[in-house]
């Protein structure tokens, strides 16, 4: 089941996986990339890294207001990259200007400020630019909120994942607790609720299903079923493209 797929000679495609927070899209995206030998990019980690930068530099005040004018001039110097070599925990690590910030960007301090940072058009512009560069050679699986709509509108395969808020909050709470973070369920729940609100209503690239994205209700399937479904979809897409190029 977890064997790499034999797709060496197949055309490379772009896979865009969008959806709500904690809907399981990152796990799906990461596993698919591993199975098919593609690069995996967690675009949310990039917005989290920018948020960490803003917090560290006093660019977010106690009321959560972001100092846009202070942040924007730094954007072109900010380097967010990923260490493809996976760490001991088997997770890809996010680097901010070369520093491994993987643990810090997952903390609630970042989660509770990231959506207001991700609303800023200049932040989005810079991140989208970096993301498009990463996908230039295709052979990439990227997950986020606007990958199928804005970053790669021509992606060959687009998936939109959703699941109920309570189920998502339960998953995220458990994930954080397993990482040793002492956090109340209610705090996780209201953070997801608030981020959903901001992410779906912002002006630039709101979280919305691309017209041609295929939906997955992730609350209704097991992890194995979800991966089987995704792999099949991936194989069908490759087959379709091969057929199209022959005709
Ligand atoms: O891990 P989780 O699913 O909770 O969120 P994430 O993927 O790490 O994204 C964190 C936040 O970054 C989201 O709530 C959005 O505000 C923002 N984001 C975005 O605006 N566009 C993306 N493509 C990815 C994330």
Higher per-residue pLDDT: 179 or 228:
228
Ligand 1, atom 5: closest residue by C-alpha: 21
pLDDT value at residue 91: 73
Candidates 122, 129, 128, 127; CA nearest to 68 is 122
Question: Residue 111 CA to chain centroid, in angstroms?
Answer: 13
Q: Using a 6 Å cutoff on CB, does residue 135 contact ligand 1?
A: no
Tens digits of residue pLDDT in 57-88? 999 999 999 999 999 999 999 999 998 765 55
User: Stretch 116-122: mean pLDDT, rounded?
Assistant: 97
| Residue 35: other Cβ atoms inside 10 A | 19
**DSSP secondary structure letter of residue 150:** I
Q: What is the pLDDT of residue 86?
A: 55
Mutate to test the pocket of ligand 1, among 27, 44, 128, 146 (most ligand atoms within 8 A of CB): 44
Q: What is the reported pLDDT for 44? A: 97
User: Ligand 1: which residue has its CA nearest to atom 7?
Assistant: 44
Helix (H) or strand (E) holding 17: strand 14-19
Among residues 11, 10, 25, 56, the alpha carbon closest in space to that of 223 is found at: 25
Is pLDDT of 123 > 80?
yes
Q: Kindly report which listed range (5-19, 33-47, 163-177, 190-204) carries the lowest average pLDDT score.
A: 5-19
CB 116 within 8 A of CB 64: yes
Per-residue pLDDT reduced to its tens digit, 11-46: 899 999 999 999 989 999 999 999 999 999 999 999
| Pocket flag, ligand 1, residue 48 (CB < 6 Å) | yes
- Report CA-CA distances (Å) from 155 to 123, 191, 206, 244: 22, 30, 18, 16
Token pair 């512009």 in the structure block, residue: 125
Residue 31's nearest CA partner among 208, 228, 187, 235 is 228
pLDDT above 90: residue 143: yes
Residues 26 and 91 sit within 8 Å (Cβ to Cβ): no
- Is the shortest distance between the CB of 106 and ligand 1 below 6 Å? no
Whether 102 has a pLDDT exceeding 60, the answer reads yes
- Cβ(20) to ligand 1 under 6 A? no
Q: Which two tokens stand for residue 132?
A: 């498009």
Q: How sure is the predictor about 90, in pLDDT bands with cuts at 50, 70 and 90?
A: low
Please tell me the distance from the alpha carbon of residue 138 to that of residue 132, in angstroms, as a whole number.
Answer: 10
State which ligand 1 atom lies nearest to the alpha carbon of 202: 20
């Amino acid at each position: 089941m977890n064997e790499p797929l034999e797709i060496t000679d197949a055309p490379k495609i772009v896979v865009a996986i969008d959806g709500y927070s904690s809907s399981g899209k990152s796990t799906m995206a990461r596993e698919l990339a591993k199975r098919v030998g593609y690069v995996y990019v967690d675009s949310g980690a990039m917005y989290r890294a920018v948020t960490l930068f803003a917090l560290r530099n006093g660019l977010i005040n106690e009321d959560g207001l972001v100092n846009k004018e202070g942040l924007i001039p730094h954007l072109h110097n900010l380097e967010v990259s990923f260490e493809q070599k996976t760490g001991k925990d088997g997770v890809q690590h996010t680097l901010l200007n070369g520093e491994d910030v993987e643990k810090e960007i997952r903390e609630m301090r970042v989660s509770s400020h990231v959506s207001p940072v991700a609303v800023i058009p200049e932040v989005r512009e810079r991140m989208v630019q970096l993301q498009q560069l990463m996908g230039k050679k295709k052979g990439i699986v990227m997950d986020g909120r606007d990958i199928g709509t804005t970053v790669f509108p021509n992606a060959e395969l687009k998936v939109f994942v959703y699941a109920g808020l309570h189920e998502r909050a339960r998953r995220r709470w458990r994930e954080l607790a397993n990482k040793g973070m002492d956090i109340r369920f209610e705090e996780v729940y209201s953070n997801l609720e608030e981020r959903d609100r901001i992410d779906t209503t912002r002006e630039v690239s709101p979280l919305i299903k691309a017209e041609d994205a295929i939906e997955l209700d992730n609350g209704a399937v097991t992890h194995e079923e979800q991966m089987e479904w995704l792999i099949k979809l991936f194989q069908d897409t490759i087959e379709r493209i091969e057929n199209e190029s022959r005709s």
